[in-house]
């Protein structure tokens, strides 16, 4: 069993890096931690940018090139745990590649491995993601407190749960029929979700905000700037989180949410099943609901 301690980052490929960075900073509010230029001596590398929301050195890397999600990263406790995960995944038939030391440096982790889930989502497990203690210099006061969770697509969410629960410490918190599986790896109701979709991809990346006021302030801010609101403001009955989904460049969906449920008594929690066709099952406030836009997995066939 591989213990995931947290979500680490999302790596996303963008055709227009400057536009994607401008959105991630000026609209979403993230801090740009590296300039959008190749490092000295690495001119052959594609241009990229790293963005920060919390203690992590960065939680979003935008890499110029093809448009599509490149990988989703999760932390494991330490280097020994990473080596054990590598062995376990290989033994289970997954093709695992160990990241080079320069690639690990670029990701600001001690080391990492990469592999694909059974549906073609590219995953990375990392040890020793760098912490930064100085306060985040948010590009706008959206109220972000942390990178909250990420959501992947898979054609069969039950199969996806079999994968996550067979190999990792992921436990289902709630089901939305065959449409979604919401999973926890710590007391937070979900740090990982899988939505039913046609192919592999990143459905959305979530940022927690400090108050309900932040959600509604951002709603007006985004609307005034012509940003496409995909869903919300609304309230999910599963996590009790008040949410707002909106569409960034190149099909990348961001979510702000406030008030996610914590499951403190892990053994007492019983996952519930919600029928997505039932009014209020996605949004207790009965607003219009739709599946957020997924950024397809880059390199998926
Ligand atoms: Fe979400």
- Per-position pLDDT tens, the chain of length 301: 999 999 999 999 999 999 999 999 999 999 999 765 555 555 678 999 999 999 999 999 999 999 999 999 999 999 999 999 999 999 999 999 999 999 999 999 999 999 999 999 999 999 999 999 999 999 999 999 999 999 999 999 999 999 999 999 999 999 999 999 999 999 999 999 999 999 999 999 999 999 999 999 999 999 999 999 999 999 999 999 999 999 999 999 999 999 999 999 999 999 999 999 999 999 999 999 999 999 999 987 6
Q: 141 CA to middle of ligand 1, Å?
A: 21
Closest CA to 60 of 148, 133, 127: 148
How far does residue 43's CA lie from ligand 1's centre (Å)? 36
Question: Both tokens of residue 21?
Answer: 């960075």
**Ligand 1 midpoint to CA 91 (Å):** 32
Distances (CA, A) of 233 to 74, 133, 161, 288: 28, 32, 28, 10
Q: What is the pLDDT of residue 36?
A: 53
Determine the distance separating the centroid of ligand 1 and the alpha carbon of 75, expressed in angstroms: 19
- What pLDDT is stored for residue 165 in this prediction? 98
Between CA 117 and CA 225 the distance in angstroms is 37
Maximum CA pair distance of the chain?
57
**Span from the CA of 253 to the centroid of ligand 1 (angstroms):** 10
Closest by Cα among 199, 254, 208 to 26: 254
Supply the pLDDT for residue 263: 98
| C-alpha of residue 244 to centroid of ligand 1, in Å | 9
Per the listing, tokens 């209020």 go with 280
| Residue 131 Cα to ligand 1 middle (Å) | 24
| Distance of CA 153 from the midpoint of ligand 1 (Å) | 12
Using the mean position of ligand 1's atoms as its centre, give its distance from the Cα of residue 237 in Å. 12
Would you say 192 and 172 are in contact if contact means Cβ atoms under 8 Å apart?
A: no
What is the token pair recorded at 178? 């065959």
C-alpha 83 – ligand 1 centre gap (Å): 30
Distance from the CA of 180 to the center of ligand 1, in angstroms?
11
Cα(38) to centroid of ligand 1, in Å?
32
Distance 239 CA to ligand 1 centre (A): 9
Question: Cα of 151 to ligand 1 centre, how many Å?
Answer: 6
Dihedral class, residue 177 (left if φ above 0, else alpha if ψ from -120 to 50, else beta)? left
Contact in structure between 87 and 98 (CB atoms under 8 Å): no
Q: What is the signed CA dihedral for 147, 152, 158, 162, rounded to 10 degrees?
A: -70
Residue 134 makes CB contacts below 8 A (sequence gap 6+) with none
Query: How many Å lie between the centroid of ligand 1 and the Cα of residue 84?
Result: 30
**Of the candidates 208, 209, 171, the residue with the CA atom closest to the CA atom of residue 192:** 171
Sequential DSSP letters for 249-295: GGGPEEEEEE---B---GGG---EEE-TTSTTSS-TT-----PPPPE
Q: Quick one: tokens of 73?
A: 């990263």
Distance, CA 115 to ligand 1 centroid (Å)? 23
Q: What angle do CA 272, 273, 276 make, to 5 degrees?
A: 140
Q: 182 C-alpha vs ligand 1 centroid, how far in Å?
A: 9
Q: How far, in Å, is the centroid of ligand 1 from the Cα of 245?
A: 8
148 CB-contact burial (10 Å; exposed 0-12 / middle 13-18 / buried 19+): buried
Residue 278 burial (CB count, 10 A) = 10
Query: CA 203 to CA 51: how far, in whole Å?
Result: 19
């Amino acid at each position: 069993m591989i213990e995931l301690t947290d979500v680490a980052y999302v790596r996303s490929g963008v055709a227009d890096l400057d536009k994607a960075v401008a959105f991630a900073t000026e609209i979403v509010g993230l801090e740009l931690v590296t300039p959008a230029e190749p490092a000295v001596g690495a001119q052959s590398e594609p241009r990229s940018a790293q963005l920060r929301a919390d203690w992590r050195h960065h939680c979003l890397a935008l890499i110029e090139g093809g448009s599509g999600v490149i990988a989703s990263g999760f932390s494991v406790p330490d280097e020994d745990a990473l080596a054990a995960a590598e062995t376990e995944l290989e033994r289970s038939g997954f093709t695992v590649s160990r990241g080079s030391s320069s690639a690990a440096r670029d990701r600001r982790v001690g080391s990492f491995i990469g592999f694909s889930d059974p549906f073609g989502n590219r995953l990375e497990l990392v040890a020793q993601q760098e912490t930064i203690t100085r306060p985040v210099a948010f590009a706008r006061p959206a109220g972000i407190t942390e990178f909250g969770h990420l959501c992947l697509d898979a054609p069969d969410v039950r199969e996806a749960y079999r994968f996550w629960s067979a190999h990792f410490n992921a436990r289902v918190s709630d089901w939305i029929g065959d449409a979604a599986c919401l999973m926890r790896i710590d007391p937070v109701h979900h740090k990982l979700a899988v939505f039913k979709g046609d192919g592999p991809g990143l459905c959305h990346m979530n940022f927690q905000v400090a108050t309900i006021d932040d959600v509604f302030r951002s709603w007006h801010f985004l609307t005034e700037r012509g940003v496409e609101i995909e869903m919300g403001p609304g309230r999910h009955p599963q996590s009790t989180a008040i949410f707002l989904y909106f569409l960034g460049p190149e099909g990348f969906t961001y979510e702000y949410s406030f008030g996610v449920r914590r499951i403190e008594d892990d053994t007492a929690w019983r996952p519930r099943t919600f029928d997505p066709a039932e009014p209020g099952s996605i949004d207790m406030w009965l607003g219009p609901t739709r599946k957020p836009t997924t950024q397809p997995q880059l390199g998926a066939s």
